[in-house]
């Protein structure tokens, strides 16, 4: 059975490392894996999405409406934008960080004030987490991505050590300690 | 050894394993990473050329000399390289040539949605089309075999989803290939007298390639389980969507070679399955071929001619059960891409927008200047069209447009095809003002070196085109350099150059803030006692500045301290020293 994970956020937030970590972990576990992301224009501060699919045999590289087992969102309204991709019994992990898109900055649109409450009211399984605060606690605001991966790992039937091993393979040596700490903080949140 | 690779990296690996010795390319999403990954090999030559035509001709030269070569480009790049493409079909090759072209259905990062398969048909060059990373690697290697066996360049067609999706591939060994160079005027000098002899060869070659396509393992039939009264012909990423939706239940003719297409294989498949659907993104190429050979199929009547497909496109077309979808009541604001915090293009655009100047634009990060709040652009067509276009615009508009129109073009795009337009301006003397937005890198495609940067693809020192000298030597007398972080200087120089009665070039020079050697300055902050909430800084469209509780605030995680906002504020509210709280 193929499992589907989406990572969504704002171009430049570091979703690439998160998908690299997942890819490494799942290949090491012996799964067939497909990871799909779009490069180019959207990386300039636009809305970005990465699809990670794994199982015995994976065909399509993309995840469609109602298909994601997990969505990991690096930003609040990006979670809302992609929640239609979530399976009925899926789970969405949301970093509560707010990053204003240009229409909000210039006043032509309003940033929704309570999107998390609305999602919960709709019966969606939402894990809201202040990943930025935990990343800062770990030693770098850039470690948000790994905090969120730590939170995701809680729902995987896979020893924590394997995630740590994958972090060590994917991160530059000087950042391993910060990222391991960020992972633990996310895992224990 | 097994690795998880994006399709483009797998192509690079396949080219490498096949002994490709020279790659010349111009960057373009979604093709760029092929050349970037190939450049990591130390035992093969790799370069960024000024444009795709130059790249393809360099690859031709390498193959002529006897070394396997390749060039890589996005779909619109093949338009630029179409001239050598059509005649290389006649000359054929000595060592093999692979031309990698990446289409962008859905236009994630492109100005049109053209289908490169038309080029294969028009130029009579075989085309392979992989559907995942393993095929990307295998087909790159096979392409060289076909190239040398049939004496032809071979097109390897990628699309965004295959180019940028990672899947597992098996890595192999490299094999060196060298062919003898011997002078052969009848084959390589395409004068009319020689070319007329080569055309029959091309037609004969297509017949042989069609025979090859009938039995090649890249075109294969996968049997279904009798639960459907139809079969599907498909290729590329559409194959993956078909398999996702149907699993192994439906009979599929999976095409890996898209030109020339087989005849007997398709007829046999149709005879076996009865009703046939053709599922292909963009234009009805396979569908039209099927009709031409007398096989009735259902294609674009059921599947869109627009954009990308997914498993959902297939499921909807075949009325398979819809999945439950969560819908929210709140409107979610769109998040379009934008110029980065501290982007040097923004200052120049602010000046142009403020002075209500007509701006003919070009292809690159700076196309984002078209978006609100700057709304600075009037036109964007293709690489180099800003410079050629302003000449025509001013020839038509005369005095009514000359003093209030500029064109903007990046350093890499200017090298690609802007310089020829500037030669036209100098030669045919239009009173045009050309602004080169020189951020010392090819930005949008992810930081590739170009002839103006002084570095090669591997980051080694290389030749460097001096833009000022180049413009002077073309015959432009008035060439000025400004710093786009200095709004007063930009405004003054733009006005001066527009008022002159001769062609002029303004080089707006400052390196891209994302370059590693550009060190960010300390973030600014807004002193709330000074800010009166006039929102003048908001007209600048900097992603670091937002408006909260009646005054502007700066996001100190994004701000790079460029200081342009401070030049806009009438109350000096932007300050560089953040007060220490204790």
Write out residues 437-466 of B within 8 Å (CB-CB) of A: 444-446
Domain match, B78 and B117 both: yes
Structure tokens at B210: 């069609």
Cβ contact B335–A102 (<8 Å): yes
Domain with residue B261: its CATH number is 3.40.50.920
Rounded mean pLDDT of B136-152?
A: 98
Residue that terminates a domain, selected from B300, B317, B334: B317
Query: Is B167 within 8 Å of A100 when comparing Cβ atoms?
Result: no
Query: Which residues 12-31 of A have a C-beta within 8 angstroms of B?
Result: 12, 23-24, 27
Question: Are the CB atoms for B44 and B458 separated by under 8 Å?
Answer: no
Q: Are residues B488 and B547 in the same domain?
A: no
Q: Which CATH number does the domain housing residue A178 bear?
A: 3.40.920.10
Q: What angle do CA B167, B26, A9 make, to 5 degrees?
A: 50
Find out whether B23 and B15 touch, Cβ atoms under 8 Å: yes
Residues B165 and B251 in one domain: no
CA B482 to centroid of chain Cα atoms: 29
Note the pLDDT of residue A131: 97
Last residue of a domain, one of B174, B198, B215: B215
In sequence order, which residues have a C-beta less than 8 Å from that of residue A99 and are 6 or more positions away?
A: A10, A75
Tell me the nearest-neighbour CA distance from A37 into chain B, angstroms.
Answer: 6
pLDDT of res. A176: 95
Q: Which residue has the higher pLDDT, A142 or B23?
A: B23
Per DSSP bridges, beta strands B127-128 and B257-259 are antiparallel
Per-window interface: B 42-81 vs A, CB < 8 A: none
* DSSP codes of every residue in B205-268: HHHHHHHHHHH-TTSEEE---SS-SEEEEEEHHHHHHHHHHHTTSSEEEEESEEESPPSHHHHH
Which uninterrupted H or E stretch holds B246?
helix B236-246
- Asked if the structure places residue B414 within a domain, the reply is yes
Whether A34 and A179 have beta carbons less than 8 Å apart is answered as no
B463 Cβ neighbours under 8 A, 6+ residues apart: B451, B454
Note whether B98 and B369 are within 8 A (CB).
no
Q: Using alpha carbons, select from A102, A77, A181 the residue that is nearest to residue A134.
A: A181
**Predicted local distance difference test score (pLDDT) of residue B582:** 44
CA gap A138, A179 in Å, rounded: 7
- The total domain count for chain A is 1
Q: Which domain holds residue B110?
A: 2-215
Distance, CA of B367 to CA of A23 (rounded, Å)? 33
What are B38-80's pLDDT values in tens digits?
A: 999 999 999 999 999 999 999 999 999 999 999 999 999 999 9
User: Interface pTM (ipTM) of the complex?
Assistant: 0.95
* Residues of B whose CB is below 8 A from A124: 326
CB B254 within 8 A of CB B248: no
Smallest Cα distance from B202 to chain A, Å? 37
C-alpha R_g of chain A = 16
Q: Is B403 a member of any domain?
A: yes
Tens digit of pLDDT for each residue in B256-314?
A: 999 999 999 999 999 999 999 999 999 999 999 999 999 999 999 999 999 999 999 99
pLDDT at B333 over 90: yes
Query: B226 and B211 in one domain?
Result: no
Instruction: For A128-173, write each residue's pLDDT tens digit.
Output: 999 999 999 999 989 999 999 999 999 999 999 999 999 999 999 9
Residue B161: give its domain's CATH number: 3.40.50.970
**Contacts with A115 from chain B: Cβ below 8 Å:** 328, 330, 332
Give the pLDDT confidence score for residue A13 in this predicted structure: 85
For B324-371, the DSSP string reads: P----SSPPPP----PPTT-HHHHHHHHHHHTT-EEE--SSGGGGGGS
Q: How many CB atoms lie within 10 A of CB B181?
A: 12
Query: Does residue B32 carry a pLDDT above 70?
Result: yes
Q: What residue numbers bound the domain in which A71 lies?
A: 3-187
CA A146 to CA A151: how far, in whole Å? 9
In this structure, the answer to whether residues B235 and B151 fall within a common structural domain is no
Name the β-bridge partners of A91.
A70, A125
Domain count, chain B: 4
Q: What is the pLDDT at residue A42?
A: 64
């Amino acid at each position: 059975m193929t499992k589907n994970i989406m990572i969504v956020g704002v171009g430049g937030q570091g979703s690439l490392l998160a998908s690299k970590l997942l890819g490494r972990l799942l290949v090491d576990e012996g799964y067939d894996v497909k990871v799909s992301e779009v490069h180019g224009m959207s990386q300039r501060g636009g809305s970005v999405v990465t699809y990670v699919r794994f199982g015995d045999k994976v065909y399509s590289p993309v995840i469609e409406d109602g298909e994601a087992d997990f969505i990991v969102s690096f930003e609040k309204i990006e979670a809302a934008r992609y929640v239609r991709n979530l399976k009925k019994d899926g789970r969405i992990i949301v970093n509560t960080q707010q990053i204003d898109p240009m229409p909000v900055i210039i006043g032509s649109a309003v940033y929704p004030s309570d999107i998390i409450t609305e999602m919960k009211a709709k019966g969606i399984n939402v894990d809201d987490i202040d990943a930025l605060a935990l990343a800062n606690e770990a030693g770098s605001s850039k470690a948000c991505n790994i905090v969120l991966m730590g939170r995701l790992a809680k729902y995987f039937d896979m020893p924590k050590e394997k995630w740590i091993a994958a972090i060590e393979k994917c991160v530059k040596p000087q950042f391993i300690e910060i990222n391991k700490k960020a992972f633990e903080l996310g895992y224990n949140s | 050894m097994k690795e998880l690779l994006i399709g483009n990296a797998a192509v690079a690996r396949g080219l490498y394993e096949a002994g490709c010795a020279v790659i010349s390319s111009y960057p373009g999403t979604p093709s760029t990473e092929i050349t970037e990954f190939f450049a990591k090999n130390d035992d093969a030559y790799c370069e960024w050329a000024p444009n795709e035509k130059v790249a393809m001709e360099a690859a031709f030269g390498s193959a002529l000399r006897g070394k396997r070569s390749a060039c890589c480009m996005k779909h619109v790049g093949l338009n630029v390289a179409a001239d050598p493409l059509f005649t290389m079909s006649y000359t054929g090759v000595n060592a093999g040539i692979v031309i990698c072209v990446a289409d962008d259905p859905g236009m994630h990062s492109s100005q049109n949605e053209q289908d490169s398969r038309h080029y294969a048909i028009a130029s009579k060059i075989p085309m392979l089309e992989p559907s995942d990373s393993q095929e990307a690697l295998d087909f790159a290697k096979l392409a060289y075999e076909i190239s040398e066996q049939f004496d032809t360049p071979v097109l390897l067609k990628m699309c965004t989803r295959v180019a940028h999706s990672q899947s597992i591939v098996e890595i192999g060994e490299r094999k060196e290939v060298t062919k003898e160079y011997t002078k052969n005027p009848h084959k390589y000098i395409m004068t009319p007298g020689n070319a007329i002899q080569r055309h029959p060869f091309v037609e004969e070659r297509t017949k042989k390639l069609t025979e090859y396509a009938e039995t090649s393992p890249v075109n294969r039939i996968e049997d279904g389980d009798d639960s459907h009264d139809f079969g599907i012909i498909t290729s590329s990423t559409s194959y993956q969507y078909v398999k996702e939706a149907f699993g192994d239940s439906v009979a599929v003719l999976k095409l890996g070679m898209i030109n020339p297409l087989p005849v007997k294989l398709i007829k046999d498949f149709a005879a076996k399955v009865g009703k046939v659907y053709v599922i292909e993104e963009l234009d009805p190429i396979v569908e039209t071929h099927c009709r031409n050979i007398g096989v009735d199929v259902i294609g674009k009547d059921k599947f869109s001619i627009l954009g990308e497909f997914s498993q959902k496109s297939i499921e909807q077309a075949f009325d398979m059960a819809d999945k439950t979808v969560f819908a929210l009541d709140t409107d979610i604001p769109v998040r379009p891409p934008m110029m980065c915090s501290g982007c040097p293009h923004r200052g120049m655009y602010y000046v142009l927008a403020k002075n209500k100047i007509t701006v003919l634009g070009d292809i690159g990060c700076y196309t984002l200047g078209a978006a609100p709040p700057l709304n600075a652009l009037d036109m964007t067509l293709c690489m180099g069209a800003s410079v050629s276009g302003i000449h025509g615009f001013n020839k038509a508009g005369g005095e009514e447009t000359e003093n209030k129109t500029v064109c903007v073009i990046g350093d890499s795009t200017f090298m690609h095809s802007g310089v020829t337009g500037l030669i036209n301006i100098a030669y045919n003397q239009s009173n045009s003002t050309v602004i080169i937005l020189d951020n010392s890198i090819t930005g949008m495609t992810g930081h590739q070196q170009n002839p103006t940067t002084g570095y090669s693809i591997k980051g080694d020192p290389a030749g460097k085109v001096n833009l000022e000298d180049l413009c002077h030597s073309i015959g432009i007398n008035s060439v000025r350099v400004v710093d786009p972080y200095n709004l007063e200087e930009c405004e003054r120089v733009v006005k001066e150059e527009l008022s002159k009665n001769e062609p002029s070039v303004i080089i707006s020079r400052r390196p891209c803030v994302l370059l590693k050697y550009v060190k960010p300055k300390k973030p600014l902050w807004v002193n709330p006692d000074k800010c009166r909430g006039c929102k003048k800084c908001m007209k600048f469209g900097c992603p670091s500045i937002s408006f909260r509780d009646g005054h502007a605030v700066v996001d100190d995680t994004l701000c790079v301290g460029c200081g342009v906002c401070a030049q806009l504020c009438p109350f000096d509210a932007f300050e560089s020293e953040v007060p220490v709280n204790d």
